Copies of this chain bind each other. A is one copy, B any other.
Amino acid sequence: MHIVIVDDDKLVSSSLKMILEAETGLEVVGIGSNGQEAIELYRALKPDILLMDIRMDGMSGLEAGAKIIEEDQQAKILFLTTFSDNEYIVKAFQIGAKGYILKQNYESLIPSLKAVYLGQRVFGEEIVSKIPTLHGDSLRKSDLTAFNLSEKEIQIITQVANGLSNKEIAETLYLSEGTVRNYISVILEKLQLRDRTQLAIFYYKHT
């Protein structure tokens, strides 16, 4: 399996090369350090998999990836990044990347590479929550604790995000309308938002 690695941190790319080549059957055939090089290397070497940092100086991995996939629909690109970012995850999905892995999670790199090689798509845990229509009914614990939101507040946010008016929320949760207003007021303050519409938007962006 031929692999090209592209990362603007040389240290990362050479460590990756070592890790990968410890495995028989894997061969790192090229190393690059920016988006432009990624495109050139891909064209020249046609690797089975392109392992690329999503964030790089100059042309980002995403841009490069989009271009490469445009040229070769079959291209198998696995993105690497050090942190999970909403925007990136969704975009990576959109351009048709085969996967997305956090660098921290280096043990899962080889199995993921193989799975991708064999036609699977591999994504970290985070991806699922970022996909709109598959939302569950409530915000993830991780998101809510980060903002000190109580259980009840979450319930209210969820109702707002379902498009209910204060009166309707009051009926649903057996509270008075005024109480619901108070809750929302507090929530908006906590989240630094202005009105319920922004709150609903927040919900959909963090779910």
Interface residues of A (CB under 8 A from B): 90, 93-94, 96, 99, 101, 105, 107-108, 110-115, 117-125, 127-128, 130-136, 160-163, 165, 193-198, 200-201, 204-205, 207
CB contacts (< 8 Å) of A132 on chain B: these are 131-135, 204-205, 207
Contact of A201 among B93, B122, B127, B200 (CB under 8 A): B200
Complex CA gap A200/B198 in Å reads: 9
- Stoichiometry, as copies per complex, reads 2
CB contacts (< 8 Å) of A110 on chain B: these are 114
CB contacts (< 8 Å) of A133 on chain B: these are 131-132, 205
Contact of A134 among B112, B125, B131, B194 (CB under 8 A): B131
A128–B135 touching, CB < 8 Å: no
Minimum C-beta distance from A183 to chain B (A): 15
A108–B101 touching, CB < 8 Å: no
B165–A195 touching, CB < 8 Å: yes
Given A161-B201, A200-B200, residue A122 in contact with residue B119 (CB < 8 A): no
